[in-house]
Amino acid sequence: QINELDLLKTLDRDHVWHHLTPGAAARKGLPMFVRGEGLRLWDSEGREYLDASAGGVWVTNVGYGRTEIADAVREQLAQLNFFAGSMGNAPAAAFAEKLLDKMPGMSRVYYSNSGSEANEKAFKMVRQIAHKHHGGRKSKILYRERDYHGTTLAALSATGQAERRAQFGPFVPGFVEVPHCCEYRTQYPESNDYGIRAADAIEEVILREGPETVGAIILEPITAGGGIITPPEGYWPRVREICDRYDILLIMDEVVCGVGRTGKWFGYQHYPVQPDIVTMAKGLASGYAAISCTVTTERVFDLLQEEAGDTLGYFRDISTFGGCLAGPAAALANMKILEEEGLVENSQRMGEYLLAGLHALKEKHPVIGDVRGKGLFAGLELVQDRMTKTPVDESVAIAIAGACKQMGVLIGRTNRSFEGFNNILNFSPALTATAEQIDQILTTLDKAISQVCG
């Protein structure tokens, strides 16, 4: 007699094509998670884990098992589930107001379903503005080395991660790379104004390409998948200045950082910078529904409205499931939890505690070369030698993450991100994390590093 769970595991092994999983592992069969509550997950064997990765990819910001969100979604779907097109709906309007309240200067919200799609909308806005207002010329979009912007081909064409791009070319034309801004790996080790220099490196690319050909730049406020890279002092105001000088739109990809992850509502709000377009997904509804938003200023919206004698008209784009009301209903309930439980503040407070703990581990373990992050969004870079900063082999990062998992704690790590830099571990539990839970993460990590590195 085969029980239902064993049957499902067999079906999973034989038919489900898992993300990021080599075929050999999939053919052996993978464990299944069957339940979650708060930061805790249970697998099909009854083992308990503490999830310090927010669902593996920075999603479950309010934690697992939030029946308030499940109830809000169920109620909305029972009343009205879907309509896409030129009719309004209540949860979309109510959530837009809530969201814009956290984003002074921003004015319009375009709903879609994934981070990649939110970025595609931003790119299409830039391209249509180029056609309507600049005879098609200002169509190039700059992106930064090490940043990730999504899985679709244009979003991947805007991704500065060589390993992740490998084997998916040819890419969409009109995307141009600018240098990264990682202080630990600075291109100017002698300089004490790296932030300014890293921003000026963007201007060099603009001048090389011709400012009349460049419409926008997309950047992560703090680089996530490329290795938790916090920008250097002075970087953001200079980037804004350069964008203004050449009439270039600044797109901020808040897919990971947005909605509380870094200890402020949005990652860019740590810095004196105002974007023109902001994209977000992941923690927007903590994984209780698929929703993303492309948020713009009124100016960007106006640039895409019809004018007398204009043959191109308004923004010609649709996202079918941007009309699914599960998304805004879940996002509204998610935001209510963040506000009522003070989770953005908790992310800031517990984030400081986590970073202090990681710095203490750096004192103890020479393999830790650098500790970075903001809020409950922290990373550490593993090196063979602190002087040369040579990255450890990926197998070391895999072994440490594996040892943590063995001890019941799930952590994140860079994976096929940036050539040679699969040496960064990351720690981003749900924003409800308590000091005891952070202690469990740190103690486990300490043991894991000792086990693997001696």
- Tell me which residues touch ligand PMP (CB under 6 A): 57, 114-116, 119, 148-151, 220, 224-225, 253, 255-256, 281
Smallest separation, CB 161 to ligand PMP (Å)? 11
If the CB atoms of residues 227 and 357 are measured against ligand PMP, the closer one turns out to be: 227
If the CB atoms of residues 283 and 357 are measured against ligand PMP, the closer one turns out to be: 283
Smallest separation, CB 116 to ligand PMP (Å)? 3
Smallest separation, CB 15 to ligand PMP (Å)? 22
Please report the sign of the dihedral spanned by the C-alpha atoms of residue 177, residue 300, residue 232, residue 380: negative
For residue 84, CA distances in Å to 87, 95, 326, 360 come to: 7, 17, 13, 52
Smallest separation, CB 137 to ligand PMP (Å)? 27
If the CB atoms of residues 228 and 355 are measured against ligand PMP, the closer one turns out to be: 228
Smallest separation, CB 18 to ligand PMP (Å)? 15
Residue 53: which of 380, 437, 433, 427 has the closest Cα? Answer: 427
Tokens for 142, please give them. 């700059």
Whole-number Å distance between alpha carbons of 63 and 310: 48
At 191, the amino acid letter reads: S
Task: Look at the block and give the residue holding tokens 């019941």.
Answer: 408
Whole-number Å distance between alpha carbons of 91 and 407: 42
- How far the first Cα of the chain sits from its last, in Å, is 46
If the CB atoms of residues 113 and 139 are measured against ligand PMP, the closer one turns out to be: 113
Smallest separation, CB 151 to ligand PMP (Å)? 5
Whether 148 contacts 159, CB under 8 Å: yes
Respond yes or no on whether the N-terminal peptide bond of residue 170 is cis (omega within 30° of 0).
yes
If the CB atoms of residues 54 and 396 are measured against ligand PMP, the closer one turns out to be: 54
Strands 378-382 and 277-280: unpaired
Please report the sign of the dihedral spanned by the C-alpha atoms of residue 419, residue 422, residue 427, residue 429: positive
Smallest separation, CB 281 to ligand PMP (Å)? 5
In b/e form, how buried is each residue of 115-150, taking b as 16+ CB within 10 angstroms?
Answer: bbbbbbbbbbbbbbbbebeeeeebbbbbbbbbbbbb
Smallest separation, CB 207 to ligand PMP (Å)? 27
Secondary structure class of 82 (helix, strand, coil): strand
At 305, the amino acid letter reads: Q
Strands 249-253 and 277-280: parallel
If the CB atoms of residues 160 and 357 are measured against ligand PMP, the closer one turns out to be: 160
274 contact partners, CB below 8 Å, separation of at least 6: 105, 240, 250, 268
Residue nearest ligand PMP by beta-carbon distance: 115
If the CB atoms of residues 115 and 275 are measured against ligand PMP, the closer one turns out to be: 115
The Cβ-side half-sphere exposure at 202, using a 13 Å CA radius, reads 31
If the CB atoms of residues 149 and 264 are measured against ligand PMP, the closer one turns out to be: 149
Smallest separation, CB 439 to ligand PMP (Å)? 28
If the CB atoms of residues 114 and 346 are measured against ligand PMP, the closer one turns out to be: 114
Instruction: Determine which helix (DSSP H) or strand (DSSP E) holds 247, and give its type and residue range.
Output: none
If the CB atoms of residues 108 and 149 are measured against ligand PMP, the closer one turns out to be: 149
Smallest separation, CB 396 to ligand PMP (Å)? 23
The full DSSP string for 364-392 is H-TTEEEEEESSS-EEEEEBS-TTT-PBP
Smallest separation, CB 39 to ligand PMP (Å)? 20
If the CB atoms of residues 53 and 437 are measured against ligand PMP, the closer one turns out to be: 53
At 111, the amino acid letter reads: Y
